[in-house]
Each structure stands twice: as C-alpha cells, then as structure tokens.
Amino acid sequence: MSRFFTALTMLALFAFPGSLFADARVAEIGKGGVRIEDQAGEVFVTIPLSQAVPWRVFLADNPPRFVVEFNDVVFDGAPDVASISVAEIVTEKHTLDGSRLVAILREPLAIAEAVMDTQTESDEAVLRIRLSATTAADFREAAEDITEKFVSADEPPTRMVVAIDPGHGGIDPGTEAGDMREADLMLAFAKRLREDLVRSGHFDVVLTREDDSFVPLETRLTLARQAKADVFLSLHADALTSDAGSASGLTVYTLAPEAGDEATQRLTERHGATDILTGVDLSGAGDDVAHALSDLARRDTSPRAEAMAVTLISAAQAAELAVNSRPHRKGDFAVLKAADIPSVLIELGFLSSAADRARLGSEKWLQEATRALRDGLLRWQDEDRLLSDGLRK
C-alpha cells in the first residue's frame, strides 16, 4: 500500500467524538440521492446533503465493509448502486444522534480520497469518496489500525489559493498566428481553469489580469502575494522561429537552478521590503538579511515547484493530452522568481504548430486540458500536504 493511501486510511478520514454527536443539526439527503458507481476501475461514492455535518469514513472486516458515519443524517430512499464491488447497502441509526451507511464489499478496497465540499452560497454539502482496489492483507491492516482524527464540519480544510497568470496582455499581445493572439487565448483559458478549480470546492483563485490589459511581470508576483497565493501558474502558448526548429505539445517550466541566486539578488534590490516574502515585513533589514531569508524560502519552494511540474505533466499524460517530447524544462523566466511561492510556467502549446493551434481552438481539448490541470493540482496538493505533515512530525 502506498504511503499516500496508507496515511489517508490511518487518519480514518475525519472522525468525530461522541460529544460532537450531541449536536442538534440534522441533514437530509440532497438532490440526486446517494450514488455508488464504478468508474475507470475505481468505486465512487457521492452523498449530497442539505447541510454539512460531522462525518467519518473507515473500513471494517468480518465481513469486509466500508462505513460512513454522520451526525445526523436522515436517509430517505435506497441508494443508487451501480458497482460490482458492493454486495449490499444498509442505512441505519446507530446512536441517538448518529446515522450510518454501511456497504458490504465483494472485494477489498482502500480509501483513496474522502472530501466534503461545502457550498459557500448555501449550507448544502457533498461528501465524495473514492475507493480503489487493494490486497486482502492491506485491507485487514487498514481495518484494524484506525487512528481517529477529529475536526469540525464548521471548519473545513483551508482551500488552496491559486494565482493564475494569463501571459501577456494589452500592448503586449504575445505570439500571433493568423487571428489567434496568445494574450487572448491565455485569458480565456485562465477563466476556464478558474471556473473548474472553484467548482471543485478545493481552490480559491485569483487572476493577475481579468481583461486585455498590460500588467508588468513583477506586478503579477505582487498580486499573487497580496492574495496570499499558495501556487503560481503562468500560462503561455509560444512560438518557435523557423531557424529554431519545431515544437508542439504541453510543456511545463520551472526556474533554472543557476537563475535562483541571481533572482534573489535582483528581488531584494527591486522590490519593497514588504513585497519579498508573503507575511514577512523586512523593513529595516539590510539587503544581506533579505537575501538570506529569500534564499531559505527558495530552498523550500523550489523542490515543491519541481514536484508540481512533474505531477501536472503526469496528469496531462493520463488525460492523453499532447505533451512535448521534453515536457519538463528549466528557464530563467521573471514570473518564476518568487522565492516564497511554488511557481511553474505552462506552455499549453506552440502557436507555430498547426496541430497545437487546432487543439487550442478545440472546445473538447480545452475542457480536457482544464480538467487535467485541476486533477494534477489536486494530487499535488494532497502529496504536498502529506509531505509537509511528515516533515513537521
């Protein structure tokens, strides 16, 4: 069992103590009802609720089963089950103020993901659970070794803040090919990606520009810091001149190592003392101190940016998007030089390539690309948080 899945299972995925089950709130099953279905070799459980309530999910053995407990949910109607892995579903009251859904399993499954998305405009929520195949031995270990972690339904996990930077704009149209302008394409894609990320319930998003206006490169980083961004994605669709060869497919750039020290030096010289590291006021500190702190911050963010690039490329490949033959490259780009924010520059394609131009104009490709980047960010977020938790311990 991978470290990622083991850690998720051992946390018992958001359990709640008996005292919380004294809460008087009662939720009802929302529109569409409970659904359990097979997709791409995994089992997906969707439970819409009229409001968020404390919950937990865990595995139990003899017989093998998957259990979801709530405080308190009124189950109305039978769940819609379309999974060959589930033999039987039981919904019941198991305490005075607690409800339970139990799925008797035909085969061992592992809890790959469990997240409750809460609508900010209303009290409605959706619990989404993803189960993947595992061995009988790993299932028994997970069922026996449960460490409960308690959180409140009123305090959902903090959403990742993503700064999306549509390249170019205003007096700088970027690459042009016929009636296609890089600045326009990237702004439209950024808005699509923002919609997909926000709809997932896991992200808050800020754009460095909302229209066809010119924003200086360093101002883009300042806007990301002001939004307390956790990651920075710069979107481009460049071109190669005929004497530079040809290229096509998605490429992800991270800051070249040799550019790091020079970038830190320029950062301390050109930015104000309060605009170097998020949440740190370096007013009164000398350039040497600012340089040292920026360098320390970069030592943390650089490997995280590298991991994010690898994960985004992997997600693009899994979605069968066209990916460059050298998809992960290094560059000395100004927008990658934030010492305190993991940053990547994504070339969605090359406008010098007829195939890429066709893809960038395809509604189907645009949908697949935004979903792939969303899925990649979700996976990187999980892996990054687990790594951070491990380092803190």
> Which of 116-130, 177-191, 238-252, 295-309 holds the top average pLDDT?
177-191
Q: What's the Cα-to-Cα distance from 50 to each of 71, 73, 97, 126, rounded to whole Å? A: 13, 9, 17, 9
> Which two tokens mark 83?
């999974």
Torsion (CA) 169, 171, 177, 179 in degrees, nearest 10: 90
Domain range summary for the chain, segments of one domain joined by +: 3-144, 160-392
Distance from C-alpha of 206 to C-alpha of 159, rounded to nearest angstrom: 13
Instruction: Return the SS3 of 202.
Output: coil
The pLDDT tens digits for 251-272 are 999 888 764 444 334 433 333 3
Compute the average pLDDT of residues 46-66: 87
At residue 107, what are phi and psi to the nearest 5 degrees?
-150, 155
Distance from C-alpha of 114 to C-alpha of 238, rounded to nearest angstrom: 38
Check residues 283 and 303 and name the one with the higher pLDDT: 303
DSSP sequence for 274-326: TSSBTTB--TT--HHHHHHHHHHHHHHHHHHHHHHHHHHHHHHHHTT--EEEE
Is the model's pLDDT at 21 over the cut of 70?
A: no
Is the model's pLDDT at 148 over the cut of 70?
A: no
The CATH class given to the 160-392 domain equals alpha beta
CATH ID of 3-144, from 3.40.50.720, 3.40.50.2000, 2.60.40.3500, 3.40.50.300: 2.60.40.3500
Report field, pTM of the whole predicted structure over 0.85? no
Is the model's pLDDT at 324 over the cut of 80?
A: yes
The predicted pLDDT at position 279 comes to 39
Would you place residue 308 in the very low, low, confident or very high pLDDT band (cuts 50, 70, 90)? Answer: very high
